[in-house]
Amino acid sequence: MATYKDLLELIAKREFGIIGERNTRSIYSSIGLDLNGDVTLEKNDVSFGDLEKLMDVLKEKYGMVAIIGCKIPALRMAKQSELQLPDVLR
């Protein structure tokens, strides 16, 4: 079963393509989540709240393109692992 940590790592990889690696690392850091070189999160206890915060910052800085671009894999992982998603990802 996937966790919110897995989900946020999946989104990070996708955002490397959409908003770029540097911008993705910067946004994750701004919400207190640091990404390692292999695009894993340093922190283990990642929550739904972190996902909500990430979506808010992405939407504010880049608009819906950055959200829609990661929506399909996020939906799939959430569905398989019964993870709650913020409205913007549903």
Binding site for other proteins (CB under 8 A): 13-14, 16-23, 62-63, 65-66, 68-73, 75-76, 79
Q: State which residue, 18 or 31, has the beta carbon closest to other proteins.
A: 18
User: Which C-beta is closer to other proteins: that of 72 or that of 84?
Assistant: 72
Minimum CB separation of residue 31 from other proteins in Å reads: 18
Q: Any alpha helices (H) in the chain, and if so which ranges?
A: 4-18, 21-30, 48-62, 64-81
Which residue lies nearer to other proteins by CB, 73 or 86? 73
Q: How far is the CB of 89 from other proteins (least distance, A)?
A: 13
Contact predicate 15/66, CB 8 Å: yes
Shortest distance in whole angstroms from residue 79 CB to other proteins? 7
Give the count of beta carbons closer than 10 Å to the beta carbon of residue 45. 9
Taking the complex as a whole, the smallest distance from the CB of residue 45 to other proteins amounts, in Å, to: 26
| Distance (Å, whole) CA 74 – CA 62 | 18
Compute the radius of gyration of the chain from its Cα atoms: 12
